[in-house]
Amino acid sequence: MYDQQQPMQYAPPYPSMPGHEAYNETSLKFQLEFDGIIDEICHVLKDEIQVIDRQTGEINWQPNPHGQPLINDLGMSRIKTVLRGTLDKNIPLSDLEEEHISEMASTIERDVKNMIFDNWDTFEIPDQSAASLITHIIGAKVFGLYRKALDGNYLRFLKTTYQTSEVQTYMQRQQPERQGPIGMFKKLMGGR
């Protein structure tokens, strides 16, 4: 039940991105590492939802009380292995054509589908629609992540972002000190 006294709290599923400092180590790491996305896929397949603890403000994943996991922990572990083996930072830094991206994503989706059907009972897949949903979720995520590499666009984006950051840094260093009251006082006292 929603407590009207407490304001609704929203929280991003990933660490917050820096504002205008688009090119720095934190934002690059965020953009190029897929562990958070892999974990999110696993939570979705386990039918877990994010819940905010009102006392601590922490975000926790909990089983959906009205749902059913699409796959058990063993199956989830195998899917994580496949995803970690195929999703890495080299993908978005590549220069791939649409056809190659589609082929790579289809291969992963087909491998996951075969693994599911070969281990149906072991992975405790509830029904055929659950198996279809699993392969669709993974295929769509992988395809989207691989599209970052389309024609080297992401690499060009990073290069442009870096150049913009360098120009901004240079311009900030070149700005003369403002001539406000403090600046004028410094000048009168012989300071720069």
For the chain, give every domain's residue range.
Answer: 25-159
Task: For 149-180, write each residue's pLDDT tens digit.
Answer: 777 777 777 777 766 766 677 677 766 555 55
Task: Tell me what percent of the chain is helix, strand and coil, each rounded to the nearest 5.
Answer: 55, 5, 40
Q: Which two tokens stand for residue 177?
A: 């000190």
Distances from the Cα of 94 to the Cα of 39, 52, 106, 107, 177, angstroms: 23, 37, 18, 18, 43
Task: For 4-63, write each residue's pLDDT tens digit.
Answer: 444 434 334 444 444 444 445 666 666 667 888 899 999 999 999 999 988 988 989 999
**E runs forming strands in 32-130:** 48-52, 59-63
Chain centre to alpha carbon of residue 173: 33
